[in-house]
Amino acid sequence: MSNYTKYFSPFSTVLLIVAVTVSLTQLGCSDNPLNGNSTLFGSTSYDPTAAKITMTLAALTYVNENNPAFIKDSLKIQLAKTNYSTQGNWKLAWGPGLSTDNANMMYIAVDSSEIIPSYCLAIRGTDWCYLTNVIEDFFVDQTVYPFGTASDTVKVSDGSLIGLDTLLQLKDPATGKTMQQFLDALPNIGSTFYITGHSLGGALATIVTSWFLDAGFGGKFKVKSYTYAAPSVGNDGYRLYFDNLVSSKGAESHRLINSRDLVPRFCANLQQIIDDQIPTTLPALVTALIQTTQQYFGDSINYKNVAFTEEIGSYTPTNCPGSSGSLDNYSCWVAFEHDHNNYLRLLNADTTSFFYAGCPLTITVR
């Protein structure tokens, strides 16, 4: 069974769509991709080397994700590997911070191989073992973004704000310091600070980036946000606020997506899923659920993606089961296209390999 089989079954694919709708009141595929292509556009500051490094650090947030007692040691082992794009240069500097229910995790790594060190905050994506992550993914009603100079027209999803609040409370298990306390203690020497995440981690990295800049850290660090497969976070007001904030603080934002990945189409590009049959021929049930979600949104709820979106192409799975248009076939495609190792392949980076632990004391819904 391949790695990404754990993440999307036919049931969890339906859950992905159904949970979006319900909350309104993430196979047997080959590991060998074909037909790759890359079409980067948007920001001229995009750095392919930085993309490989940050996507690797984002992928490592999933290490031993359901085995909390071993996450820190496993993460250190993975960071030490020289065959990854991180080349063994990145070390654990803070964390991993883990929420009390183990649903949210993030860590900060440092590369001290240069005279001025660089840092990266990596935020874990969806862990289907925890209801909290489902809430953060799918509570898509909106509330006012409460930081900086944002007006009451700047709105983000309830789930992303819940996630941000949780992340800001996480502490390093050794020092007891929050992320903000760790950042406050770092010297102001012009270090680059990356913020990254995959899937839900990418959405949370987006709102963390705006909080980071609103909290004044843009004057201390060269801030560069690299997100992968990130769903949209807020409305058009938030998009404008985020883009202006990033520009005014001299920061960077890069939203990288696989052109055949379903997840980053939520919720700003739902119609594109139907129009372009993403990632492949849609089952009738999926089409109906997306249309139901669109009807609920109507004119009252809108989502927009922050700049810059950069497509990194796609690969085609070679042996997904079932016929075209079946839920089995569609689920396999969804899993393959969204998998973090697929993103690493599209970036021409070495893939990661680590142990996956099943859901603790529960029946997995992956």
Domain ranges of the chain: 3-346
- What confidence score (pLDDT) does residue 65 get? 85
User: Among candidates 352, 318, 353, which has minimal Cα distance to 333?
Assistant: 318
- What confidence score (pLDDT) does residue 5 get? 41
Distance separating alpha carbons of residues 231 and 202, to the nearest angstrom: 7
- What confidence score (pLDDT) does residue 141 get? 79
pTM: 0.87
Q: What does pLDDT average to in each consecutive run of 10 residues of the chain (366 residues)?
A: 41 46 31 35 77 98 90 97 98 97 94 97 78 49 94 93 95 98 97 97 97 98 98 95 97 97 91 95 92 80 89 93 93 93 97 76 38
- What confidence score (pLDDT) does residue 140 get? 65
- What confidence score (pLDDT) does residue 112 get? 95
Which CATH entry fits the domain spanning 3-346: 2.130.10.30, 3.40.50.620, 3.40.50.1820, 3.40.50.880?
3.40.50.1820
- What confidence score (pLDDT) does residue 267 get? 85
